[in-house]
Amino acid sequence: MLPLEGKVAIVTGAGRYNGIGRHIALALARQGADIAITGSGRPPDAYPEDEKAMGWHDIDSVAEEVRALGRRALPLVVDIAKAEQVQRLVEETRRELGRIDILVNNAAAARGRDRVPVVQLEEAEWRRVIEVNLTGTFLVTKAVAGALIEQGEGGRIVNISSVAGREGIATFAAYGTTKAGIILFTQVLARELAPHGINVNCVCPGLVGTYRMQDVTQGPIRNAVMRTIPLGREGRPEEIGELVAFLCGPDASYIHGQAINIDGGRVMQP
């Protein structure tokens, strides 16, 4: 019997082919979980060229991959910053897949004009990043945690933060602030949900070779970034997926309230 056999997971922000969310969904499915997969409903003309070339269909393609692993899949377009859509996510997951056991808060605002010094940062960009990364995570967690408590059988919540939430990085004011907030949010949740048997943890990736980070992993500053990573390489999104799947499995039952770096050694803390 697989470790997550009979479990149902929600993974937010899992529609990109070369994204962490997709690899989290697939890792959980390989461990036996059925998966509700959310995406923002990005238009096909916004897909990167490699996705266009392969005929990628966002969360529907991820759902096909999950089903190919023998698991059930429910793709849903959800704006996580809107409470009514989050409630629909919970209701449809319970109706179609029967229950909820695991939540992975992976969805995050796309990189945009927020990566500038604070004195140049537009208020609208600040609010956009806060709304998705923090408010969206709060709304999804509130709804799913309520369902887990009602269900009365414990559960797992894993929040995806970043090493950018561990240290101040120039031009990362909005993103880094939200990711630091997610680490503290994880600790608060861990205190509140422990009596209900719900483990809550946080994963903090470093530089990972995803589409979101192509300007770093393929650009002129690559060598400078690599010099800050003791292992001398970028991470792979599937490595993040496997860590998350472990935290959702039975062997991680005593890991609680932690923010775990997975960054090749770039950020080391006592």
Task: For residue 14, tell me if it sits in a domain.
Answer: yes
Beta strands 34-39; 102-105: pairing state: unpaired
Average pLDDT, the chain: 94
Active-site entry in 47, 175, 211, 254: 175
For the chain, the distance separating the N- and C-terminal CA atoms, rounded to the nearest angstrom, is 38
Query: Does residue 2 fall inside a structural domain?
Result: no
For residue 120, is it within any domain?
yes
Kindly state whether residue 270 falls inside one of the protein's structural domains: no
CB-based burial label for 150 (10 Å; 0-12, 13-18, 19+): exposed
Question: What is the total count of domains within the chain?
Answer: 1
**Is the pTM for the entire model greater than 0.85?**
yes
β partners of residue 160:
203
In the block, residue with structure tokens 């609010």 = 127
Residue 83 lies in a domain: yes
38 — phi, psi (to 5°)? -110, 155
- Specify if 229 maps to a domain: yes
Kindly state whether residue 1 falls inside one of the protein's structural domains: no
Q: What is the pLDDT of residues 2-53, one digit of tens each?
A: 999 999 999 999 999 999 999 999 999 999 999 999 999 999 998 989 999 9
Is 47 catalytic? The answer is no
Residues 185-204 pLDDT 10s:
999 999 999 999 999 999 99
* CA within 13 Å, CB half, 7: 27
User: Taking every pair of C-alpha atoms in the chain, what is the biggest distance, in angstroms?
Assistant: 55
The residue range of the domain holding 35 is: 8-258
> Domain containing 66 — which CATH number?
3.40.50.720
Q: What is the mean pLDDT of residues 80-103?
A: 98
- Is 264 inside any structural domain? no
Residue 215 has pLDDT above 70, yes or no: no
